[in-house]
Amino acid sequence: MKFKQILEVLNKTYRRAATKQRTCSVKGCDKQAINSHVLQKNGILNSIEERGHIRVSEADFFNPDLFHFKRDGINQAFTFKGFCAEHDKKIFAPIEDFEIDFDDYKSQLLFAYRTVLNEKVKKEVLLDWHKYQKESKTLIGEIDTDLIDKTDEQQKVGIKDIEYYKEKIELDLNNETQSFIFKVRYTKPCEICLASHFTYETTRERSKQIETTGKDFEILTDIFISFFPIENENVLMMGYLKEQEPKCGEFVQFFFDCDEDTLFKKLSDLILCRCEMWACSESFYNQKIKPHDKVINEIFQESASTVDEDRELNFNIFQ
Ligand SMILES: [Zn+2]
């Protein structure tokens, strides 16, 4: 009985955090944020939709060992509360209302912008969820508040990191500066939509840095990645800060120089080990994921606890 009660409160507090009203991310705007798609519905997400639904990867908070591919309606799938209706329309018009020019710097930047904001909101939802948990009478003595505080600290560091990237993106959007390098490649079609960013430094490298210097890297190297179908092809876009070229330039370039089979294996490793946010079609799910459910779940479990996020797997989701 008690367990059921706890689960109920965890569920309720999570829903409360996830559905909480949020303000527009544009400085000075206090309007309510609407649900924006991380990747737009028209032209991108709807190309993997079957009967109004897509499959979205989702971690189960209540059972971290489990990873689901939730069947979700196209209108609510892959959304986050980042901007008010007015700003969402105004800022993203170049990639929403016109044919997307993937070689255009500002269009590339807009894809990264949404990814960053989505990540930030996800962390804010977690912080709110933890806060509500600590406020709940039912959960007193049932949750590890020390662990929650520790996780919150990490989330806050993560948000600070994201803010750094967000400001650089906004600077470029409003000026003629180009702080990032983006690379684009086209591949055979594949019914996967990915919009994510990951940290180049592994947990092992960060621990070593802390051990030797007493503190973590000043700013972590974040790499943006988008991969999605567009007119009988898939487009791969990756980007990073120019100032971090010496660190991750070669790593990213490999994705653009290697042959297609190698590229898909690299993408498979990335989406299973480092990128939380991706979606696929029902057909892709039935052909490539469902038959390997057990293996994929094991990989996700390992990914959640490993300090070597850059590991190469013996499994390829595209094969
Ligand atoms: Zn606004």
SS3 (DSSP) at 303: helix
pLDDT at 1: 56
- Copy the structure tokens of residue 151: 């996780």
Answer whether residue 315 is part of any domain: no
Per-residue pLDDT of the chain (319 residues; tens, 9 = 90+): 588 888 889 889 998 999 999 999 999 999 999 999 999 888 899 999 999 999 998 766 666 556 678 899 998 888 999 999 999 999 999 898 888 999 999 999 999 999 999 999 999 999 999 999 999 999 898 889 998 998 899 889 889 999 999 999 999 999 999 999 999 999 999 999 999 989 999 989 988 999 999 988 888 899 999 999 998 999 999 999 999 999 999 999 999 999 999 999 999 999 998 887 899 999 999 999 999 988 988 888 888 788 888 889 999 999 9
Answer whether residue 74 is part of any domain: yes
157 contacts 218 by C-beta, under 8 angstroms: no
* Centre of ligand 1 from the C-alpha of residue 81, in Å: 11
Dihedral sign of CA atoms 145, 151, 153, 156 in order: negative
pLDDT at 40: 87
* Centre of ligand 1 from the C-alpha of residue 82, in Å: 9
* Centre of ligand 1 from the C-alpha of residue 34, in Å: 9
How many degrees, rounded to 5, is the angle at CA 61 between CA 49 and CA 119? 60
Q: Which residue(s) pair with 197 in the sheet?
A: 224
Q: Which amino acid belongs to residue 276?
A: E
Answer whether residue 181 is part of any domain: yes
* Centre of ligand 1 from the C-alpha of residue 164, in Å: 20
Cα–Cα distance measured from residue 184 to residue 255, given in angstroms and rounded to the nearest whole number: 10
84 contacts 33 by C-beta, under 8 angstroms: yes
Q: Which domain holds residue 217?
A: 2-305
Answer whether residue 318 is part of any domain: no
Answer whether residue 317 is part of any domain: no
Q: Which amino acid belongs to residue 55?
A: R
pLDDT at 5: 87
* Centre of ligand 1 from the C-alpha of residue 128, in Å: 22
Answer whether residue 117 is part of any domain: yes
Closest by Cα among 14, 46, 39 to 113: 39
* Centre of ligand 1 from the C-alpha of residue 98, in Å: 22
* Centre of ligand 1 from the C-alpha of residue 22, in Å: 11
Ligand 1 ion: Cβ-proximal residues, 5 Å cutoff = 24, 26, 29, 31, 84, 87
Answer whether residue 132 is part of any domain: yes
* Centre of ligand 1 from the C-alpha of residue 109, in Å: 19
Answer whether residue 107 is part of any domain: yes
Domain count, the chain: 1
Helices (H), the chain: 2-19, 85-96, 105-135, 145-174, 203-213, 245-257, 260-273, 282-284, 293-305
SS3 (DSSP) at 291: helix
